[in-house]
Structure 1
């Protein structure tokens, strides 16, 4: 008699929860893409802004993603409680995330200026980059972190596995919030008198000093988080800025075919969400002892990899189709639905292959070295996706179009 494979109902349930979150993320992030396509003329006039778009979105998602991942692990370990006091897990992680956001936004503005100048993308001063980055970063961080905390508390009360919904939710909110806040903030600040911009720069420097003080002089939990995350995020800011350079140097084609501007946020966002789910599950599994962090992944981990490919096969073609339909409906230029289908699917599957390799390597190495993989997995993956995703996407655009 033929035996059919036994279906793990729990794992299937988790997979479907993740798929639902990714589908919602795909449609929501496409809204951010439509907005990016609509401001193509602004980006063409100030290409330096395009340099700061990918790393700004990435840092919002990375910092809030780490927050959610750490809180998820605390839930699985039975340490989580709804308490925002200064020394609680929830309170310490929230305060650390906000101070780190300000520090990293300042560094990001500095890197964006250096690389823009190096690649001949003139138009903004260093003070403009820094003020735009920090002010937009504070506004978007508060909103994205708020969304993250709401999702965390709801998942805790409803007994939903936060690992499966945090990354898509945080990435999507980062896409939807960071991009318009960044563009609106940039336009507003660049239209201010010089004296106002100088005052804003002074305020930004004061906030930076206070954030450094909080990171260095607060309780041990905040200091521990800051010591691990800040040295990691600073070089990742540089990686993300190179991703922005990749898009900015090919901006003429992206503006000529506005549909590709629509595709960029959901493509990188959904790749990041899939990678975030993988990293969160790996970190939780290592914390609970269910996954042995060997150099080569075990059979259980390979099942996680298969899930990421299934997610990609479902989501990536959808992104290309949504982008083409949106562009056609809004009168934007597009090479056609077949070309968009091929670009999104081929580039997505290749990026997910890298995601699986880098995601597991980051989690296993950090855990074996005595670090918390929650702090490393999502930032490394999302920054990696920014750079490699940008290169792969632009390469397939040039290959297929």
Structure 2
């Protein structure tokens, strides 16, 4: 279900980025155009979420059955129905929240690029995990006495997909993405899976179990910051150029140092976002310490190594975002729909990988978990 949570977050942030750009370039000034755009994008997201939920369940079933060498139909149906129902319900709720945030930001004169994608990521995790726990618990209670319930629930939500497909065809933008928008979604699932494998491998060592507390923090902060930057760059390109053409300052060969050393609005944004990394992580580390949620003592060495890993993750992500968004634009693809899934899944992979290396390094130098062995 980790892959479903990651993919659902990608869909929410992609929707937020598309609608934020639409607000900034004036496509939502007309009430008729605004609601056609909103309804078409929400229907598209329902289709993508349902398919994502189904694929995530199939992948989890396969990965769980291969090591054990056996397949249990009842458990597979339970997993599939829980995943599909969670994806559909949470997508509907989060879509409504996103529309409210973006429309409200427009009325208040706030740039939705700065608020919509972080809210999408934050509420996405909370709502998805809550609904998943509620749905799976209810279906599990019916597994023995009413085994047909799982199949009925899964079939009911899947049957709504054709209706959502028809609705999404009403707007040209969502109609085109209905057929061309699957590449980043599926690719991000593959990339995120590698991060999950790294986490599973690290958790197999009980001495490094503390990583599980910090993984959502480093991945969440990195994903939020790069999603903001990607959305801002995309809005800038929609304002100042046409697809397949980039502004003059971006036509030179890409140099990573220019991402933070330039003087343009996107460079200043990258500088500000990079400055937020350490204060943000320090706050979360302090909260984790107060709640005694982890198994790792916050020594000065641990904090320094952890912050170095977090800083390296965000530096890499912001550089990749600068290159990838412009690359997508040159190819005539809308970065709002194509770049964020790649960037957030890469953020999960980098965050998990760097955190695993940090924990292995700390263990090697003797800065170890104070609670292990208590």
TM-score (norm 1): 0.76
CA RMSD of aligned residues (A): 2.9
* Maintained 8 Å contact 1:83/1:91: no
**CA distance 1:337–1:311, change in 2 (3 Å):** same
Measured after TM superposition, the shift of residue 158 of structure 1 is 0.2
Match of 1:261 in 2: 212
Matches of 1:209 and 1:201, distance apart in 2 = 12
Gaps of 5+ in 1: 1-51
| 2:110 is the alignment partner of 1:145 | no
Matches of 1:212 and 1:348, distance apart in 2 = 42
| 2:356 is the alignment partner of 1:394 | yes
Which shifted more, 129-138 or 372-381?
Answer: 129-138
* Maintained 8 Å contact 1:133/1:182: yes
* Maintained 8 Å contact 1:61/1:174: yes
What is the 5 A alignment of 1:119-158?
125-158=75-108
Matches of 2:65 and 2:32, distance apart in 1 = 43
Matches of 1:286 and 1:238, distance apart in 2 = 28
| Secondary structure in structure 1 of the residue aligned to 2:27 | coil
Measured after TM superposition, the shift of residue 366 of structure 1 is 1.2
Match of 1:79 in 2: 27
Which shifted more, 62-71 or 214-223?
Answer: 214-223
| Secondary structure in structure 1 of the residue aligned to 2:110 | coil
**1:107-145 CA distances to partner (integer Å, 9 max, x unpaired)?**
111122233445669897433332222122223222322
**CA distance 1:164–1:209, change in 2 (3 Å):** same
| 2:284 is the alignment partner of 1:319 | yes
**CA distance 1:162–1:86, change in 2 (3 Å):** closer
Match of 1:233 in 2: 185
Count of matched residue pairs: 345
| 2:257 is the alignment partner of 1:307 | no
Gaps of 5+ in 2: 364-374
| Secondary structure in structure 2 of the residue aligned to 1:88 | helix
Which shifted more, 195-204 or 343-352?
Answer: 195-204
Measured after TM superposition, the shift of residue 70 of structure 1 is 0.9
Match of 2:338 in 1: 376
**CA distance 1:95–1:213, change in 2 (3 Å):** closer
Matches of 1:86 and 1:212, distance apart in 2 = 23
What is the 5 A alignment of 1:106-117?
106-117=54-65
Measured after TM superposition, the shift of residue 196 of structure 1 is 4.0
Matches of 1:84 and 1:388, distance apart in 2 = 42
* Maintained 8 Å contact 2:202/2:208: no
**1:211-234 CA distances to partner (integer Å, 9 max, x unpaired)?**
256437823333212223223202
**CA distance 1:325–1:281, change in 2 (3 Å):** same
TM-score (norm 2): 0.82
| 2:241 is the alignment partner of 1:276 | no
* Maintained 8 Å contact 1:92/1:222: yes
| 2:15 is the alignment partner of 1:67 | yes
Which shifted more, 82-91 or 109-118?
Answer: 82-91
**1:160-201 CA distances to partner (integer Å, 9 max, x unpaired)?**
001111121111111222223333433443333247454323
Measured after TM superposition, the shift of residue 392 of structure 1 is 1.4
Match of 1:357 in 2: 319
Matches of 2:138 and 2:90, distance apart in 1 = 15
**1:69-125 CA distances to partner (integer Å, 9 max, x unpaired)?**
111111121111485889711111111112211111111111222334456698974
**CA distance 1:243–1:212, change in 2 (3 Å):** farther
